[in-house]
Amino acid sequence: MPHIVKRDPGLRLLREATAGSRRPLVRALGWSAVQAAPALASGRMLATALDRGFLAGRPATGLLWLAGIAALYGVRAAAQRAVFDPLAAIVEPMRDALVRRVVRGALGRAVHEGLPGAGPDAAGVTRLSSQVDAVRGTTAALLRTALPLAVNLLAALIGLASLDLRMAVVVAVPLLAAIAVFVPAMRALTRRRAAFLLAEERVAAATGSVVAAARDVAALGARDAALAEVRVAAEDSARAATTVAWANALRVPVILVGGQLPVLGLLLAGPSLVHRGEVSAGAVIGAVSYVTAFLIPALQQMTGSVAGFWSQLRVLTARLAATSAGPGPSGPAAGRRPLGAAELAVHGLTFAYGPHSAPVLRDVSFTVPVSGHLVLVGPSGVGKSTLAGLLAGIGRPDAGRVELGGRPVAGLPEAVRAASIALVPQEAYVFPGTLRENVAYLAPDATDAALNRAVAAVGMRPLLDRLGGYDADLTDPAGTLSSGERQLIALARVYASAARLVILDEATCHLDPAAEAVVESAFARRPGTLVVVAHRLSSAARAEHVLILDAEGHAFGSHGELLATHPGYAALVGHWDAPLPAPVP
Partner 1 sequence: MTRNERAPGSGDRPPGAGRLLIGAVRHTGGRLSLLIALMVLSTAASLALPALLAAAVNAVLHGDSGAAPALAWGAVMAAGAVCDTLMAPLGAVCAAQGTRWLQQRTVGHLLSMGGRSPVPAGEAVSQVTQAAQQAGALPVAVAGWGVTVTGSAAALAALLWLDWRCGLAFLICVPVTVLIARRFVGRVTRVYGDYLSAQSGIAVRLLAALTGARTIRASGTLDRETDRVLAPLREVSVAGHRIWRLQKGTVWQFGLLISLTEALVLGVAGLGVVDGRLSPGQFVAVAGYLQLAFPAVQQIDVFFTLAQARAAAVRLAGTFAHAAVRYGTAAAAPGAGAVSFRGVTVRAAATDGAGGAEGTARAAVLDGIDLDIPAGACVAFVGRTASGKSALAGLPGRLADPDEGEVLLDGRPVRELAEGPLRDAVTYAFERPALLGGTVREAIGYGRPGLPRSAVRDAARAAAADGFVRKLPEGYDTPLERVPLSGGERQRLGLARTLARPARVYVLDDATSGLDTVTEAEVSAAVTGALIGRTRIVVAHRVATAARCDRVVWLDGGRIRASGPHAELWHDPAYRAVFAADEAGDGAGIGDDAQAGDGGSSGTGGGPDGAFDDARDAVTDNMSDGTRRRRYAAHREA
b vs e for 419-457, b when ≥16 Cβ sit within 10 Å of the residue's Cβ?
A: bbbbbbbbbbebeeeebbbbbbbbbeebeeeebbebbeb
SS3 category, 355:
coil
Q: First-to-last CA distance in the chain?
A: 66
The nearest distance, CB 59 to partner 1, in angstroms, is: 4
Quote the least distance from Cβ 8 to partner 1, whole Å: 26
235 vs 225: CA distance, rounded Å: 15
Residue type at 282?
G
Q: Which residue lies nearer to partner 1 by CB, 62 or 528?
A: 62
Q: How far is the CB of 145 from partner 1 (least distance, A)?
A: 12
Smallest distance, Å, CB 10 to partner 1?
21
How many Å apart are CA 394 and CA 414, to the nearest integer? 10
Choose between 7 and 584: whose C-beta lies nearer to partner 1.
Answer: 584
Of residues 384 and 526, the one with the C-beta less far from partner 1: 384
Return the number of the residue (354 or 406) whose C-beta is nearest partner 1.
354
CB closer to partner 1, 369 vs 484: 484
Closer by beta carbon to partner 1, 59 or else 469? 59
Cα 24-28-33 angle, rounded to 5 deg: 150
Q: Distance between CA 261 and CA 494 in Å, rounded?
A: 77
Residue 469: strand, helix, or coil: coil
For partner 1, the closer CB: 158 or 293: 293
Distance CA 525, CA 523 (A): 5
- CB closer to partner 1, 11 vs 537: 537
Distance CA 319, CA 127 (A): 11
Asked if residues 203 and 230 have their Cβ atoms less than 8 Å apart, the reply is: yes
Q: How far is the CB of 85 from partner 1 (least distance, A)?
A: 7
Ranges assigned E (strand) in 302-391: 344-351, 361-368, 373-377
- Between residues 372 and 477, which has the closer beta carbon with respect to partner 1? 477
Least Å distance, CB 479 to partner 1, is: 10
Share of the chain residues as helix, strand and coil, in percent rounded to the nearest 5: 65, 10, 25
Q: How far is the CB of 251 from partner 1 (least distance, A)?
A: 8
CB of 354 within 8 A of CB of 363?
A: no
Q: Which is nearer to partner 1, 455 or 474 (CB)?
A: 474
The strand pair at 373-377 and 545-550 is best described as parallel
Query: Max alpha carbon distance in the chain (Å)?
Result: 124
Nearest approach, Cβ of 354 to partner 1 (angstroms)? 3
Distance of CA 52 to the CA centre of its chain: 62
Residue closest to 324 by CA, chosen among 566, 135, 554, 550: 135
What's the min distance (Å) between Cβ of 447 and partner 1? 20
398/110 Cα distance (integer angstroms): 21
Q: Which amino acid is at 457?
A: A
Nearest distance, CB of residue 11 and partner 1, angstroms? 23
Alpha helices in 121-164 (DSSP H): 122-163
